[in-house]
Structure 1
Amino acid sequence: MDAVFKIENWTSWNSTINDGVAATPQLPEIPPMQRRRFSFLSKMALRVILDILPNPRAIRSVFSSRHGELHRTLDLLLELTQGSPLSPAKFSQSVYNTSSGLYSINQKNTAPSTVVTSGRNSLAMAFVEAISQSICYQEKVLLVYVDEPLPEIYKAYADEQEELAAFACILSAAEFGWHAKLIADDDSSLKSPRHLASQLIAALSKSEDYFELELEAQKWIWDLKDE
């Protein structure tokens, strides 16, 4: 990846933690009968989308998550082991494109939507996809990334400092703006870096013109190029 793009706007959502429990994103814009079926992950996705796009708009979108609806999938697997009937609502919303589908339905967005996942590098690959689509179609693209820490049963397999993450931006390919590129970094594969989305949110919040993010065996370098 070696590309130049502009970020029109971006937002993130951070949950407050009380007694070890994360506060749930509030979605007063969504009818109660609909939002009560949403998972925590889907609520995070809709929250950052509605913060950045409060009004319905036809726009291409790229959604990404490392673990996706793993918490909901685990609930279904546990129900199977107990011989309990599966919940149709849980089953229908246990896939990687759940958030994409809910957004498209609730905001009546009929533009194409893509879902990307690529391990620890999922957010970076989502940027690659979004920028590629913007170049190809000469349109702005909505990028949404959400993720949750692994369920307790899978904690032993975590290979990074996992965190709740919710990020959204509207970007477009351009001649000036952010110049982002991936370079090899053999030492990074030996580390357990902070979640990539958390690294990016922290860097963008500082409004710096240059920063480096750690990926798996790579560095992601951002450099702001003015006109």
Structure 2
Amino acid sequence: MITFSIAQWRAWAPGLVSVDDWQAWSRRPVVLPGSDEAPDVSFLPAMQRRRLSRLARMAFSVGWPLAEGREQLPLVFVSRHGETPRTFEILSDLAAEQPLSPTQFSLSVHNAIIGLWSIMRGETSEMTALAAAGDGLEHGVLEAAALLDEGAPAVLLVVTEDQPPQAYSPWINDVPFPYAVGLLLTPGKDWQLSLNSAADPLSNAHWPHALNLLPVLLGQETSCQHAWKNRVWTWQRNP
């Protein structure tokens, strides 16, 4: 079991920006209609914004406000599928025997977003990009807790997924819509996360873990459980 506090959090999805938006969605969660909408990142210079994919924009939109005023803030970035739309474009160009863009390739790798984050913020703290399974949220929290235990006063955790191209739909079914969730973790005992094992594989949560956590973040519930394969994660918010 690990303990920590969540000083602040933010979330974004198409049409869901404010706390009130997420309150309404978490009471009646539904799959959002397809959308090309991307979050507002006008706090970045235009030349920098041009390089950002929607996945990167989502990560920056939830992470940047949480990092405001904090120097030397470690970052843990979690995405199961990463820049799938960008890599699909590269593969499509390759199949059509078109010249490949070195810039597109360099921005398609899994740690590209934390590299851009480091450059744009001048951040030199430890940063980690995790390509995790369905319980990537929890593995991100473990990574953040380890950094807190080493003395970091706060750690930024960002979990985000973009809608994969339609060609991948037979294999990728765990992204109901594009979303990003950012958590600013600090030392404390307001929250606890524990792991148990089940003898047999369990049914997965209906929603991605980061979205399933929102009712607890919003104070509608005090705990939740997330199962992935034979791992059972229990989140508890202490009074």
TM-score normalised by L of structure 2: 0.85
CA deviation map 1:88-108 (0-9, x unaligned): 221110011121111111111
Instruction: Determine if the alignment matches structure 1 residue 162 to structure 2 residue 161.
Output: no
Looking at structure 1, the residues matched to 205 and 6 of structure 2 have their Cα atoms a distance apart, in angstroms, of 28
CA deviation map 1:22-58 (0-9, x unaligned): 3111111111112112111000001001222234622
Shift of 1:203: 2.8
Instruction: Determine if the alignment matches structure 1 residue 4 to structure 2 residue 3.
Output: yes
1:38 maps to what in 2? 52
Instruction: Determine if the alignment matches structure 1 residue 193 to structure 2 residue 206.
Output: yes
**Does the 8 Å contact 1:167/1:197 carry over to 2?**
yes
Shift of 1:85: 1.1
Residue from 110, 117, 126 that aligns with 1:96: 110
**Does the 8 Å contact 2:191/2:237 carry over to 1?**
yes
Looking at structure 2, the residues matched to 26 and 138 of structure 1 have their Cα atoms a distance apart, in angstroms, of 29
Looking at structure 1, the residues matched to 146 and 205 of structure 2 have their Cα atoms a distance apart, in angstroms, of 29
Looking at structure 2, the residues matched to 204 and 214 of structure 1 have their Cα atoms a distance apart, in angstroms, of 18
Shift of 1:186: 5.4
Instruction: Determine if the alignment matches structure 1 residue 59 to structure 2 residue 73.
Output: yes
CA deviation map 1:125-153 (0-9, x unaligned): 11111101111234311111111233211
Aligned residues: 224
2:219 maps to what in 1? 206
Looking at structure 1, the residues matched to 228 and 219 of structure 2 have their Cα atoms a distance apart, in angstroms, of 20
What are the within-5 Å matches in structure 2 for residues 1-227 of structure 1? Answer: 2-16=1-15, 20-55=34-69, 57-160=71-174, 162-174=176-188, 176-185=189-198, 189-191=202-204, 193-226=206-239
Give the 3 Å change call, closer, same or farther, for CA 51–27 of structure 1 in structure 2: same
- Where does structure 2 lack aligned partners over 5 or more consecutive residues? 17-31
Looking at structure 1, the residues matched to 47 and 128 of structure 2 have their Cα atoms a distance apart, in angstroms, of 27
Looking at structure 2, the residues matched to 120 and 171 of structure 1 have their Cα atoms a distance apart, in angstroms, of 21
**Does the 8 Å contact 2:192/2:236 carry over to 1?**
yes
**Does the 8 Å contact 2:41/2:57 carry over to 1?**
yes
**Does the 8 Å contact 1:196/1:215 carry over to 2?**
no
| AA in 1 matched with 2:216 | A
Looking at structure 2, the residues matched to 19 and 192 of structure 1 have their Cα atoms a distance apart, in angstroms, of 21
Looking at structure 1, the residues matched to 226 and 58 of structure 2 have their Cα atoms a distance apart, in angstroms, of 23
CA RMSD of aligned residues (A): 2.2
**Does the 8 Å contact 2:192/2:237 carry over to 1?**
yes
